[in-house]
Amino acid sequence: MITHTLGFPRIGIKRELKKTIESYWKGNLSEEELFLAAKTLRKKHWQLQKENGIDLVPAGDFSLYDQILDMTVTLGAVPRRFNFEGETVDIKTYFDMARGKAKQGDANAMEMTKWFDTNYHYMVPEFEPNQTFKLSSEKIFEEVKEAASQGHNVKPVLPGPLTYIFLGKETKEGFNRFDHLDSILKVYEEILTRLSENCEWIQLDEPILVLDLDTKIKNHFKETYERLTKAAGSMKILLATYFGALGSNEDLTLSLPVSGLHLDLVRAPHQLDSVLKNIDSEKILSLGLVNGRNIWKTNLDTAISTVKRASQALGKERIMIAPSCSLLHVPMDLDEETALLPEIKNWMAFAKQKCKELQIIRDAALGKDVGEELNANREALLSRKESSLATNKSVQEKLQNISKEMLSRKSPFATRREKQKEELNLPLLPTTTIGSYPQTKEIRQIRSKFKKREISEEDYKKSMKDFIREMTIKQEELGLDVLVHGEPERNDMVEYFGEQLKGYCFTKNGWVQSYGTRCVKPPVLYGDVLRPQPMTVNWIKYAQSLTKKPMKGMLTGPVTILCWSFVRDDQPRSETCKQIALALREEVRELEEAGIKIIQVDEPAIREGLPLRKKDWEDYLQWAIDCFHITTSGVNDETQIHTHMCYSEFNDIIEWIAKMDADVISIEASRSKMELLKAFEDFHYPNEIGPGVYDIHSPRIPSKEEIKSLIKKAIEVIPLENLWVNPDCGLKTRNWDEVIPSLRNMVEAAKELREES
Ligand code: GLN
Ligand code: ZN
């Protein structure tokens, strides 16, 4: 009954890897220094896992940028534009692929996108016809050797070939990326054969086995794993699945000729029974019992009884014990958190603590005496369950009392629209922005000084008001029709609200990799959500007092707050989301009372919260949209509700977006040159819409003519009277030198088109 992990956080407790890589990029560190730092971190992380009870440690899970990019490099699948020649891909080419090449005939970075339903982003493999593949990196062999030389029992980890190809994209038409399966498998075979000389196990990750797969893809599995098993010789293949249940792919998965199978029993505990019944008598089963996606302690008693059940059915030699998925998605070490309330801290476990949990589960299942540890775990869980910190009667009552009226606006859109027209008196093609303006050094300095208590609250407020005033004046000068206060007080659109809501706490070093060297520190929602006082009203009220034009109130929506936090696991996500919505509802109402006529509720994360299986979509979308209504339905018809979404695929959820019934939606569209609007046209999207006409990810200043032609494209598909003019997203990452001329062109473009029509 060995314990193992599927992968471990690599960024380092103080984000050492981030800092090292970034100083290498700046030219302050040599290649040798970079490699040495990486090696030191690997050593530390293996050591840490071993000390905390892990028998079999992973190698190959470490990466200087992304493990899928590593696989791309290993297969020699470097896109042509990076001009790779030679035997092995060098580090410069590697980072060019990740970040784009600025000189020598410019080459864009490879695209990145979300890894399943996590907040981790991988680099999308690119395929074209007649592409060739050959082993072009020694990384996996070197890391295995490294771990072994440090005395570890090591298991190489690679993305499985089918998941790898599935997650890629064709860059040319007229072929299918799975056409390359045979050539790619040849490289995998070579890798496996070489590894088999030194390793007992290899882990191949095929998380696509928890998705709805079409028959064509399913049909590839058998042959693929027959070939790989043969190539692996005496080395055993552990096929890892996670993030959900095998469901309709269960028979297929169990029929594959691999030596072991890993199941996610946190997300999908129910699949164990049928797997135990149907698994053949040779296979090893790895039980994913400790949540690799969240930061709470495991219920050890439950986990132990699961292990006992499995080992009764299969025999204890055939059981492995593991986290549900790679620990990449949780922070590294809770011991480093010195500022958390001890009571709350005692409910949590980070990667290191999760390793320890695995050890206790195993020892208990083998009949060793771990009574003390189990008691401590029971006490912690009980304390969490009964804590007055986490429960609030009045919140729970409010949750029970969500009425039908709260799930829609008082009147239909047509009625509201007439009233809002009268109230707001806006021109055709009204112009606005999405919320944030450049977060200058000054702004960040003031915020950080206030956080460190180096300046008084009074001085802080005064400075913020100065920023708001400057930004309001700038917007008036530009001639925008609907203004925003600019969000100078917000470090992050979720953290800002989390900090003011009861039920939230924050870590000091709870870093999780988002992409490359970028890390986030998700706030932790541990209890019932309460809004002790207004969160934005004073800022917005002040901003409105400076202008006669309408000032938008600006809120982050409940689903986005939920998706970008670590949330409690002791109640359904939908309940937690509704609590957040109820708190925001009060804020919306107070904004209205304060005379704010337009309120925007941003939901950029609504699409990424979608469950992996289509059958679960409706349930999710229903409560997600309910939460939007709970947030916004308390206002009068005259108050205009906006929402904003960006950087996702919206075509397949357009009918749900329409059900949100926001008076106006602003949506990123300039990168796809308005193609996204096709979905809105086909659906006859009824309400007003502002497709982005300014790509805010680029420092480039769009010309007036360019913007005009984008708006004209939009006019072709959306009725003119429904159209707004705005950038793709918030402007916080830009600087004023870019923003002013860009917005000036945008306003001019709108004005000219207004006159022409
Ligand atoms: N209002 C936010 C801003 O402008 C929206 C950000 C987002 O969509 N991610 O920054
Ligand atoms: Zn956005």
Average pLDDT of span 63-82: 97
- How far apart are alpha carbons 285 and 501 in whole angstroms? 43
**Domain residues for 633?**
414-756
Average pLDDT of span 264-279: 98
Buried b (16+ CB within 10 A) or exposed e, 520-534: bbbbbbbbbbbbeeb
Among protein residues, the one whose CA lies closest to atom 6 of ligand 1: 730
Pocket test of ligand 1: the residue of 432, 484, 494, 602 to mutate, having most ligand atoms within 8 Å of its CB, is 602
In the reported structure, the alpha carbon of residue 437 is separated from the centroid of ligand 2 by a whole-number distance in angstroms of 13
pLDDT band at 48 (very low <50, low <70, confident <90, very high): very high
* Ligand 1 atom showing the smallest separation from residue 490 Cα: 10
- 501, part of any domain: yes
In the reported structure, the alpha carbon of residue 605 is separated from the centroid of ligand 2 by a whole-number distance in angstroms of 9
Identify which ligand lies nearest to the alpha carbon of 600.
Answer: 1
How large is the C-alpha radius of gyration of the chain? 27
Pocket test of ligand 1: the residue of 495, 729, 732 to mutate, having most ligand atoms within 8 Å of its CB, is 729
Per the listing, tokens 């499985």 go with: 160
195: phi then psi, degrees, rounded to nearest 5: -65, -30
Do 440 and 351 sit in the same domain of this protein?
Answer: no
- For residues 260 and 283, the answer to whether their CB atoms sit within 8 Å is yes
In the reported structure, the alpha carbon of residue 450 is separated from the centroid of ligand 1 by a whole-number distance in angstroms of 23
In the reported structure, the alpha carbon of residue 159 is separated from the centroid of ligand 1 by a whole-number distance in angstroms of 33
In the reported structure, the alpha carbon of residue 621 is separated from the centroid of ligand 1 by a whole-number distance in angstroms of 21
In the reported structure, the alpha carbon of residue 491 is separated from the centroid of ligand 1 by a whole-number distance in angstroms of 11
- How far apart are alpha carbons 49 and 41 in whole angstroms? 12
Angle, CA 582 vertex, CA 578 and CA 588 arms, to 5°: 135
- For residues 344 and 530, the answer to whether their CB atoms sit within 8 Å is no
User: Is the pLDDT assigned to residue 545 strictly greater than 90?
Assistant: yes
Q: Tell me how far CA of residue 707 lies from CA of 428, 444, 635, 713, in angstroms.
A: 16, 31, 34, 10
- For residues 596 and 544, the answer to whether their CB atoms sit within 8 Å is yes
- How far apart are alpha carbons 568 and 572 in whole angstroms? 8
In the reported structure, the alpha carbon of residue 50 is separated from the centroid of ligand 1 by a whole-number distance in angstroms of 42
Among protein residues, the one whose CA lies closest to atom 4 of ligand 1: 730
Q: What is the pLDDT of residue 650?
A: 84
Do 425 and 539 sit in the same domain of this protein?
Answer: yes
- 403, part of any domain: no
Using left for φ > 0, alpha for ψ between -120 and 50, and beta otherwise, residue 316 falls in alpha
Residues with CB under 5 A from ligand 2 (ion): 604, 646, 729
Among protein residues, the one whose CA lies closest to atom 1 of ligand 1: 435
Average pLDDT of span 369-398: 96
- How far apart are alpha carbons 283 and 256 in whole angstroms? 10
Do 380 and 425 sit in the same domain of this protein?
Answer: no
Q: Among candidates 496, 488, 530, which has minimal Cα distance to 393? A: 530
Do 738 and 595 sit in the same domain of this protein?
Answer: yes
User: Is the pLDDT assigned to residue 12 strictly greater than 70?
Assistant: yes
- For residues 118 and 610, the answer to whether their CB atoms sit within 8 Å is no
Pocket test of ligand 1: the residue of 493, 664, 667, 728 to mutate, having most ligand atoms within 8 Å of its CB, is 493
Ligand 1-lining residues (CB < 6 angstroms): 434-436, 487, 493, 554, 602, 604, 644, 646, 729-730, 732
Per the listing, tokens 């480093």 go with: 336
Do the strands 524-530 and 502-505 form a parallel or antiparallel pair, or are they unpaired? antiparallel
Do 355 and 444 sit in the same domain of this protein?
Answer: no
- Residues 6 or more apart whose CB falls under 8 angstroms from that of 360 comprise 53, 300, 370, 373, 374, 377
- 26, part of any domain: yes
Q: What is the pLDDT of residue 104?
A: 64
Q: In CATH, what number is assigned to the domain containing residue 45?
A: 3.20.20.210
Pocket test of ligand 1: the residue of 119, 433, 434, 598 to mutate, having most ligand atoms within 8 Å of its CB, is 434
Cα torsion angle, 446, 450, 454, 456, sign: positive
pLDDT band at 101 (very low <50, low <70, confident <90, very high): confident
Out of 374, 389, 404, a domain closes at 389
- The residue that leads in pLDDT, 747 or 112, is 747
Average pLDDT of span 270-298: 97
Identify which ligand lies nearest to the alpha carbon of 729.
Answer: 2
- Residues 6 or more apart whose CB falls under 8 angstroms from that of 553 comprise 536, 537, 540, 588, 591, 596, 598, 599, 600
Q: What is the DSSP string of 301-330?
A: HHHHHHHHHHHHHH-GGGEEEEESS-GGGS
The tokens describing 129, both together, are: 């016809």
Q: What is the pLDDT of residue 652?
A: 87
Q: For 52-155, where are the alpha helices, taking DSSP H only?
A: 67-74, 91-99, 139-149
Proportion of the chain above pLDDT 70, given as a percent: 100
C-alpha atoms less than 13 angstroms from C-alpha of 191 in its C-beta half-sphere: 32
Pocket test of ligand 1: the residue of 471, 644, 667, 726 to mutate, having most ligand atoms within 8 Å of its CB, is 644
447: phi then psi, degrees, rounded to nearest 5: -60, -40
Do 434 and 369 sit in the same domain of this protein?
Answer: no
Cα torsion angle, 634, 426, 667, 719, sign: positive
Among protein residues, the one whose CA lies closest to atom 5 of ligand 1: 730
- 402, part of any domain: no
- For residues 608 and 564, the answer to whether their CB atoms sit within 8 Å is no
- How far apart are alpha carbons 255 and 251 in whole angstroms? 6
- For residues 58 and 149, the answer to whether their CB atoms sit within 8 Å is no
Do 708 and 750 sit in the same domain of this protein?
Answer: yes
Q: Among candidates 633, 125, 673, 637, which has minimal Cα distance to 405? A: 633
pLDDT digit string, tens, across residues 586-624: 999 999 999 999 999 999 999 989 999 999 999 999 999
Question: Residues 180, 220, 262, 697: which is the catalytic one?
Answer: 697
- For residues 171 and 108, the answer to whether their CB atoms sit within 8 Å is no
In the reported structure, the alpha carbon of residue 641 is separated from the centroid of ligand 2 by a whole-number distance in angstroms of 16
Domains in the chain: how many in total?
Answer: 2
- Residues 6 or more apart whose CB falls under 8 angstroms from that of 294 comprise 330, 566, 567, 569
- 440, part of any domain: yes
pLDDT band at 512 (very low <50, low <70, confident <90, very high): very high
- 394, part of any domain: no
User: How buried is 739 (Cβ within 10 angstroms: 0-12 exposed, 13-18 middle, 19+ buried)?
Assistant: buried
- 399, part of any domain: no
User: Is the pLDDT assigned to residue 102 strictly greater than 80?
Assistant: no
pLDDT digit string, tens, across residues 617-668: 999 999 999 999 999 999 999 999 999 999 888 888 999 999 999 999 999 9
In the reported structure, the alpha carbon of residue 729 is separated from the centroid of ligand 2 by a whole-number distance in angstroms of 4
What's CA 232's distance to the chain center, in Å?
34
- For residues 606 and 645, the answer to whether their CB atoms sit within 8 Å is yes
Q: Is 697 assigned a catalytic role?
A: yes
Average pLDDT of span 261-290: 97
Do 353 and 426 sit in the same domain of this protein?
Answer: no
* Ligand 1 atom showing the smallest separation from residue 732 Cα: 10
User: Is the pLDDT assigned to residue 309 strictly greater than 70?
Assistant: yes
Among protein residues, the one whose CA lies closest to atom 3 of ligand 1: 730
Do 378 and 450 sit in the same domain of this protein?
Answer: no
Do 576 and 723 sit in the same domain of this protein?
Answer: yes
Q: What is the pLDDT of residue 135?
A: 98
In the reported structure, the alpha carbon of residue 644 is separated from the centroid of ligand 2 by a whole-number distance in angstroms of 6
User: Is the pLDDT assigned to residue 235 strictly greater than 80?
Assistant: yes
- How far apart are alpha carbons 180 and 298 in whole angstroms? 42
The tokens describing 546, both together, are: 């400076």
Do 378 and 315 sit in the same domain of this protein?
Answer: yes
Do the strands 598-602 and 319-323 form a parallel or antiparallel pair, or are they unpaired? unpaired
Do the strands 598-602 and 640-645 form a parallel or antiparallel pair, or are they unpaired? parallel
pLDDT band at 757 (very low <50, low <70, confident <90, very high): confident
- The residue that leads in pLDDT, 112 or 524, is 524
* Ligand 1 atom showing the smallest separation from residue 554 Cα: 1
Do 538 and 661 sit in the same domain of this protein?
Answer: yes
Per the listing, tokens 């590697």 go with: 94
User: Is the pLDDT assigned to residue 105 strictly greater than 70?
Assistant: no
- 48, part of any domain: yes
Q: How many residues does the chain have?
A: 757
User: How buried is 124 (Cβ within 10 angstroms: 0-12 exposed, 13-18 middle, 19+ buried)?
Assistant: middle
Proportion of the chain above pLDDT 90, given as a percent: 94
DSSP one-letter code for 638: T
In the reported structure, the alpha carbon of residue 436 is separated from the centroid of ligand 1 by a whole-number distance in angstroms of 6
Mean residue pLDDT across the chain? 96
Angle, CA 148 vertex, CA 143 and CA 154 arms, to 5°: 75
User: Is the pLDDT assigned to residue 553 strictly greater than 80?
Assistant: yes
